[in-house]
Structure formats: structure tokens, C-alpha cells
Structure 1
């Protein structure tokens, strides 16, 4: 269950401070990070020497403001200033707290509650931010946290910096979980955790096969999110370049993302399903003709259940632009393990398995699909790196081969727990197995199985829908609802159980430019027509009755800061849907 190559780390590099100093000493004039605007135009590039000097300037200022071990909130958009601030925290001995900026999602107010929760939990001494945010009432509302504008830090302070003697076991940052299933919690990640994960990612993306001068990662994922931050660190760990785009660039102009990959000849770029699907839907044939995706070696797909149809649609749409089927790497990870848990592939590894849906739903058994019977296609999330131990566990013991269980993880990149939450830490990180005495396993809360060395992930235990003793995965039902009627928006559905009797409910956004009418003969698609189509499709494919269907206008579904649908909060919209309902 290991990847192709043993994990290799930089000699003498045990902390993020060591990493940047190592790269600045060995490749001072090589570009380290590039910031692009929402149109893909270059805003700023720093070499490793320039980045390291700006980091020392900022760290010197931080050392005059805060003490080692204090928390520093990073409220910055994707770009060079975030990179400077993140490493400056390490150089000053502070614990970074990457956070969404107030305007990161839907105009600011929507994130204020989450930011307030992070401030209360992390108790930061300082916030590193932009001039705009530092002067805004939104930041003022967060309390008496000292704001520092990263872009305004004076040059020439680097000589005042003093190495705080950070150790690999010291916390590097708090990664606040997305809150898709519960209130966000701060995952404590040490320098050792981060570098162990970065070393494993380097093997995953085959970085040793690429000259560092040619190694490039392009990312639009928010840098405060685990997968976005991992792409940044993953670009710098081998000594390559990280090219950062604003997240809105992908949503407004998906071509900008692929164009950046093409222009910078990116080796790696990653995204969830919806980004690949958006490219298929929105990028024109004329735009495709301008792309050269042949240098793109690793396209990670994670952060939500990976769909085989998404992979095949993207491969077909961009084959003419040089995209190779071997480039796709479905993967699995979570913030409690920095991010990466599985994803490496051998040339002959299966990409998916087709399972008998009834055996899976009724008994959790892995039985090959039978002709004429309902089946479920599950995408392989790859092999586990050598520095992690992944087990499938049921009722506290390893699940027998051929059965589904909870995914447990132990290893170098697994966190020690949640910030100042000992009970939650014990519940989540206190898994024990007889053959690994003294080792605490992370209970991921995800259901899955191992087959032929690869991990397959089915979904969250908390979200499982159980009707008449049969297990149904909400992602499967949501996919059915999305395809039930053209009025339903893609990837805009939440399915869940509600009420004392566990009825099935669905909340769905309509597609853009669609109007829904509740009046017969009214202007738009008839509400009853859409609801009937949803109920019919779910009954046909899953033998389930949808007791309640709520239709929302676009943007109405509750989501996390990383864009995941929040099923628990969606349940609260029943029965009337709130102000966004049709």
C-alpha cells in the first residue's frame, strides 16, 4: 500500500524556515512565486532570494509586535503577500492561522461569523492583511487584533531578524476545518507534519523527475484552504514555482485557469470535480485551440467524491489540447493529515470498480456488479505514501477483507489534535489497534475500502442515509437529482434525512437563467414538473421516496468557505426554503 518511491526529504530541512533558507541559498535567482490577476495577467513575481528577504523584513516586524507561540491571523487573498506572510510567521516563531478574507465569499458579511469564531478560538495577537481590510469595519468588528498590512512592511528590516529556533515539533499553523459537517475546529499542524506531507506530495507528483527550474504548480484554490495551501507548499518544496490565481478567476473565466497552465507549462494543478466540469461546459473550441496542456503531468482531483464521468468528460474535451489520460490523479485527504493521504498510481492500477449496489447498500459488501442489476461505480483514490498507515476499521477492529469500514490514518503528517479542544482531539485522534500499540490513529469519519493497494472512498459516515436497513450515499442521490431535470443546477444539491422517522429530503438550486413558477401556466418552468422529475428519478435509480423537495434560486445552498455543500445546514431550510426559495 505504498507509492512507487520511498519518501525523500531535504537533508537538514526540518522546518518551514529551513526550507525557504535552503531554497534561497541554492537557487536565489529562480522564480519562487507569481501572482496573477483574475484575467491571468502577471501582477508580481518574486525570486527565492527576493521572497526570503521580504519574509525576513516581515518577520522582524512581527518579532517587535508578538511573542513566539502567539497566533497570527492571515487574512489575505491568493498572491505573493500571503506567501510572504505565511513564511514570516514561521521565521518569527508564530503560529499562522490562514483565514478567509471578509470579501472572499458573497460580499463579506457571510464570512464574518466564521471569522469571529476563528478569532475567539485562536486568540491571535496580530492579523496580517491588506490595506483595504485593515481599514474596514469588518476587521474592526473582529476585536482588538493588531492589523499589519503586508504590502506596506518597510524594506531593510531583514537585518534585525533573529532566528527564534523553531523546532520540527512546534506548531506551524492552525488549519481550520471547513465546517461541512460540524463547527470549524483548528487542526494543529507542526513543521514536521507539513514537511512530511510535502515530501510525500513530491513523490506523488513525480517531482524528482523534473528539473526544479521547470517545476511549476498553478493554483486558483483558496490559500486558506488545506488543498490550496498544500499546492503552494508543494510548489516550493522541490524548489519550483507556485503560480497563484484568484479563486474568482476560475468561476468567472475557467479558461484563465487552463491558459495559465498552458503558458507557464505547469507540471501540477489540482481541483475538485466542479472545476473540471466547469471547463468542459464553458470553454469554447476556439479557446481550446489556444491551449497546450501536454506539459501538465499531474491533475489531482480531490476535496469531494471523485466522479468517473467527470474524468472521462474532461479527458475527451481536452484531448485535442494535449491533455493525457495519465495526467488525472484522483486523490483523498483531509486537514487533520495536512491534506494528502492517497493518490499515487502504478501504470496498471484500476481507475475505478463497478460494484453491486444492493450488496453495498444492505451489507457493506464489495461484490462485482452484475448485468441487469443496479451498480455503483467508485473511483480509485490511489495508493498510500510510505510515511502513512491507512486502515479500514469496523467496530474498533480492522474490517474483514471485502467489507466497507471507516478510514483510519496514522503517520508523520497526522496532526496531534485540535487547538485547545482535548475532548474533540481524543474522540477523533484516539483510535487504537492491537498491532500498533501506542499509536494513535485518526478516525477520518469517511467510509471506504482498500483493494489491490488503492484506497476507495464512499462518503461521510455522518451523512449516510439509512432507509429500511439499506445504506445510501448522499452524493449518489445528489448526482441523480442534478440529472433529473434541466432546471436543476449541476453540483447544487443537498440530500439528507430529516424528522423523527428519517424521511428523505432534497434541497436543490436551479440552474442560472432558469425561472420557476408555482402557478400553472406561469412564466417559467413549472415547480411541480421539476419536483415530479426529481422524485421519479430517485425512485427509479435508488428505490427511495423523496418526501420533501425544496427549490432555491442560484446561490441559495449553504456552503463552506471551500465551496462544499453543507448538508446539515441545508436541512434547516425545510420546509419553506427561506428567502432564496422559489
Structure 2
């Protein structure tokens, strides 16, 4: 795919994340670097670049007394200033940071402990940077012989003991553990060079150079241990701006707090998955909208899950009165194995919609315009490729023909060298080769897509593809149909997958909040609940009509019943295990 030719600029003399912070601390010491807000949007703390640099040096000096260069340091901290300090302290000390979820960050402690245990066993950290609450709990003790350091309690004045460890650009900066939506989480090894290359490309994507650094703000509620959330932190500081951090629960409990923070801090960039934009449309009142001023919001990246055209238009319509411009919403695509950013809309024309012939796409993998009276599929473009990446569409090991579906392969400066201590998995995922570039190895993303008009379109995961009678069905399409089949079903809370041996489907879906489902509702007597059988019948009708598929099993769950990754993605393989009875969360 022809990349976006806007040049990616590097900062002179900056080769590592430590160089980056030291550079800005010298150039703009008194400018805000990090602002931490609580779940109500109230300011907790602000650190200037000079203050951040001092705290980072203090913490790095303590780390150098506790661990050796190249050791892993687990970061078990919520969104906030302490995480920023800990992350850059690892760079200053020559340690490899391992951002990890805290049990109270999004999910329950029990659910997150399993993931933490897996990360500890894989990364083998020498130290954990955390809060006083976790350091004194049984949680850290359960993680083995890992030295805890409470970041907030690191004494001031240790900076004089810090010594530059001589970190190189090719050294690992951090391990980004994958979400585990399709398999067990693996640690992606990302070097300082990988991270800075991706940050420089993002700077072009969001047009940061047209905004004075002193006015450049990034507002984020995304979990900071996740690739998209961490990228917003790094991107803000790479441009010499400030990052405004909110707890992830702020969005779920009070969506207004997110947009209010964008309004008050004049956020130039604030990004989120599709569901967050939908949540704001559904939950904000007209009175709350009237209090917002979103004219300064220039880039609203929409990624990390399938982008829906209806969401783009609904959000733009809902917040146009608050000054939100139609030019602001930008679909994008990326993955942890390439730091995060692989493609994105750089202007409104890039956020285009392809209306395709569903039969040609399903039966032959051909990208053909929709025909009147025939089934169609609408797909939102995920933008152009940055100049420092090479993206190919590959089918059967060779480049696919023009406008043909294939696997998305990526090579370039921000692509990781592989997984931490997993050579076989690394070779399988990062060892792609093409005859026309024999010296280049490509990342096999596992995602299917195609290119049209220099735009990348993403269809879904190769592993999740449902093949029935020689036709390809993408679970996201079926899940969208199920969600719209009955008002009792929650949006973005459906899993569809093969079930049985004769081309049938299984579906597990959560119901919407405040919906009561009753298997024994007597419709003739006007029962108070929604009849279970009515919802199931609606699902089967909708899927049969739109996809010509039979749903063999439908299970309805209470809200929160679907298995998800720590980044909120539905885990289809684990959802299949809930059939046929649904487990304790079933209606």
C-alpha cells in the first residue's frame, strides 16, 4: 500500500524515552507535562516538565539501587502522575517497564489477578512500582519475590545519586502485553526506537506541528497500561505538550466528565474505541451538552475495535451544537505489535465509507461496489499508512491483487522485533517474507483487509472468520445484526462463533441495563419482563434474513456477563464456553 508521504520528523539528539523527557525539561521546564484528574474531573495534581524530570530522577536513582539495567519493572498503577513518573524512571534507570492492570482499575480483583500472574511468570520482574494500598495488601505478596516500591513515597533529593546507564535506541523500552482477545497475552518487546518512530508518525497524523507545544493537550481516560492509552501519554510528551489523565471508570460512570475535560483543557487530541462515542451519545443530556465547548478538539481518533459509520454520524450530530466539527472524527487502525499506530485518517476525506457487494466479498474475497437489490456491507476506511511503514495485503503468501481481501502485513520502524522469550511465537507472527522484498520481515497481523483509493479497510480477525458453505462471514457483522435484532440486547455486547458441525452458529449476548428477561413471562397476561423466547426468535430471524445463517444456540446474559480482555474487548473463544447454559450470569 502506498504510504502517506508526509515526512516523519525526529527530534535532534533524542534516541530514547529518557532523552525525550530530558529534552523537553530543558526546553520548557515550567510548562505542564501531566495533569491528573479524579473520577469527577477535579484536578488532583499537575507536574511541569521540570518537576516530572526531578521526580523521575529520584525514582530512577532508587531503582538503580534495587535492580540492574535490563531488569523488568512491573508498573501496577492507576491512570495518573505516578504512572508517568514510574514509566519514565524505568527509561532513566535502563529498566524494561511492564505496564500492568491494577485490580481496581477496570475489572474485579479476581479477574485481573489471573492476568497479573501470567505477566509476572512471563516477564519475571525484579521490582513492582505501585501504590501504598497494593504494596501493603496480599496482592503483591501473591506475585512472588518482587520488590515493591511505592512511587508516591520515593524521597525527594535522590536525583543526585542517579547515573546515566547508557541506554541505546535498540534496547527494550517496555513490554506491551497483548489484550488476550484471541489467545493468552504475550509480551511485545518494544525498543526505544520503535516507540519514538511511532510517536513521530502519530505527531504527523494528529497535525501536532500546527499547534504550539504550549497549547497542545491530549485528554485520555483509556487504561494507561493498554497500547492506545499509553500511546496518548507518549504522543503528548513527544510533542512537548501536556497529557490530562482520567480514571477509566470516569467514562463508564460519568461520560460527561470525559468531554468536559476535553472542553476545559482544550484537548487537541482525545481518542477512544467506538463504544465510548456511542456511550456519550446515549448518556449525555441536552443540559450537559450546552455546557461543553469542543471547538478546540481537532482529532478524535476512533480505533481499537470496529468503527461504525452510524457512530461517526450520530456523535457528530449530537455534539455539533457544542462546536464539535465533522472534520474531527478520524478512524484509525493499529496493534500492540507495531506499538499502536498503523493507519489513520489524516483529513475528513480519508474517513470514507465503502458500500460493497456482500456476496462477492463473502464468496470470492472481491471488493466490488454494491448492486441495487442485493445484500451489501458498509465498511469504514481506517485511513492512510505513515511514511515509515510498509503495509501489504497478502493472500496465500503472495501480494493480493488490487482490491482483493487478504491478511494485513506490516514492516517498518515501529514494528517490534518479537515477543518476550517466545521464539516460536515470534517466528510465526513476525517472520513473514515476500519475494519482492526478500530482506524484509513482515508482521503478520492476523487481521483481514483490503486497500481502496489508498485507504486501508479492516474487515476483522482471520482467526475469528466463520466459513459456511464456502462463504466467509465476519463475526462483527453478525454481532451487529444481533444487537439490532431486539431492544433488549445491549450494543457492543455480543459474541458470535461457529457452533456444531453443520454450518450453524452460536450467539451469546448481554441484555441492556434495566432490562428484565423472564423465561416464564405470560404474554397474554401482560407480564412485566421481556420474554426470553421472543428475544431468541428475533435474533434467529434477523441473522437468517441478513446472513442466510441458522443460529443453533442463543444464550442471554445479564449485563457484564461476557468474558472480556482488560481493554474491554469481547473474548469470543471464552464466550463459546458459556453455551449452552450461560453460567452464573445467564437469565
TM-score (norm 2): 0.98
Structure 1 pair 317/350, CA: closer, same or farther in 2 (3 Å)? closer
Aligned to 1:262: 263
Aligned to 1:568: 573
Please state if 1:530 is matched with 2:531. Answer: no
1:175–1:188: 8 Å Cα contact kept in structure 2? yes
Per-residue deviation, residues 444-471 of structure 1 (Å, max 9, x unmatched): 0000011111100000000011111111
Per-residue deviation, residues 485-510 of structure 1 (Å, max 9, x unmatched): 11101111001113344520000001
Please state if 1:479 is matched with 2:483. Answer: no
User: For residues 306-385 of structure 1, what are the structure 2 equivalents within 5 Å?
Assistant: 306-346=307-347, 348-349=349-350, 351-385=352-386
Aligned to 2:517: 516
SS at the partner of 1:370? coil
SS at the partner of 1:155? coil
User: For residues 160-559 of structure 1, what are the structure 2 equivalents within 5 Å?
Assistant: 160-346=161-347, 348-349=349-350, 351-521=352-522, 523-559=528-564
Per-residue deviation, residues 12-56 of structure 1 (Å, max 9, x unmatched): 101001000000000000000000000000000000000000000
Per-residue deviation, residues 234-286 of structure 1 (Å, max 9, x unmatched): 10001000000000000000000000000000100000010000000000000
SS at the partner of 1:440? strand
Aligned to 1:41: 42
1:3–1:344: 8 Å Cα contact kept in structure 2? no
SS at the partner of 2:107? coil
- Cα separation, 2, equivalents of 1:182 and 1:331: 23
Structure 1 pair 502/117, CA: closer, same or farther in 2 (3 Å)? farther
Which is worse superposed, 461-470 or 3-12?
3-12
Compute the displacement of 1:564 (Å). 0.3
- Name the Cα RMSD after superposition: 0.9
- Cα separation, 2, equivalents of 1:76 and 1:310: 32
Aligned to 2:157: 156
Please state if 1:14 is matched with 2:15. Answer: yes
Per-residue deviation, residues 390-414 of structure 1 (Å, max 9, x unmatched): 0000011000112100000000000
Compute the displacement of 1:4 (Å). 5.2
Compute the displacement of 1:483 (Å). 0.8
2:176–2:189: 8 Å Cα contact kept in structure 1? yes
Compute the displacement of 1:523 (Å). 4.4
2:499–2:552: 8 Å Cα contact kept in structure 1? no
1:344–1:385: 8 Å Cα contact kept in structure 2? no
2:128–2:149: 8 Å Cα contact kept in structure 1? yes
Per-residue deviation, residues 313-346 of structure 1 (Å, max 9, x unmatched): 0000000111011111100000000000000434
Per-residue deviation, residues 287-331 of structure 1 (Å, max 9, x unmatched): 000101011000000001111001000000000111011111100
Aligned to 2:54: 53
Compute the displacement of 1:3 (Å). 2.5
User: For residues 72-91 of structure 1, what are the structure 2 equivalents within 5 Å?
Assistant: 72-91=73-92
- Cα separation, 1, equivalents of 2:555 and 2:503: 17
Count of matched residue pairs = 582
Aligned to 1:67: 68
Compute the displacement of 1:347 (Å). 5.3
Please state if 1:578 is matched with 2:579. Answer: no
- Cα separation, 2, equivalents of 1:328 and 1:254: 18
Compute the displacement of 1:2 (Å). 2.5
SS at the partner of 2:434? coil
- Cα separation, 1, equivalents of 2:123 and 2:270: 31
Per-residue deviation, residues 189-223 of structure 1 (Å, max 9, x unmatched): 00000000000000000000000000000000000
Structure 1 residues not aligned, in runs of 5+: none
Per-residue deviation, residues 40-91 of structure 1 (Å, max 9, x unmatched): 0000000000000000000000000000000000000000000000000010
- Cα separation, 2, equivalents of 1:453 and 1:421: 35
- Cα separation, 2, equivalents of 1:88 and 1:73: 12
1:102–1:138: 8 Å Cα contact kept in structure 2? no
- Cα separation, 1, equivalents of 2:501 and 2:195: 43
Which is worse superposed, 193-202 or 472-481?
472-481
SS at the partner of 1:224? coil
- Cα separation, 1, equivalents of 2:198 and 2:397: 26
Aligned to 2:141: 140
SS at the partner of 1:270? coil
- Cα separation, 1, equivalents of 2:459 and 2:66: 47
- Cα separation, 1, equivalents of 2:420 and 2:450: 30
2:80–2:245: 8 Å Cα contact kept in structure 1? yes
Compute the displacement of 1:477 (Å). 0.7
Structure 2 residues not aligned, in runs of 5+: none
Compute the displacement of 1:139 (Å). 2.0
Which is worse superposed, 69-78 or 104-113?
104-113
1:351–1:380: 8 Å Cα contact kept in structure 2? yes
TM-score (norm 1): 0.99
Compute the displacement of 1:350 (Å). 5.5
- Cα separation, 2, equivalents of 1:233 and 1:520: 53
- Cα separation, 2, equivalents of 1:24 and 1:106: 36
Compute the displacement of 1:437 (Å). 1.7
SS at the partner of 1:172? strand
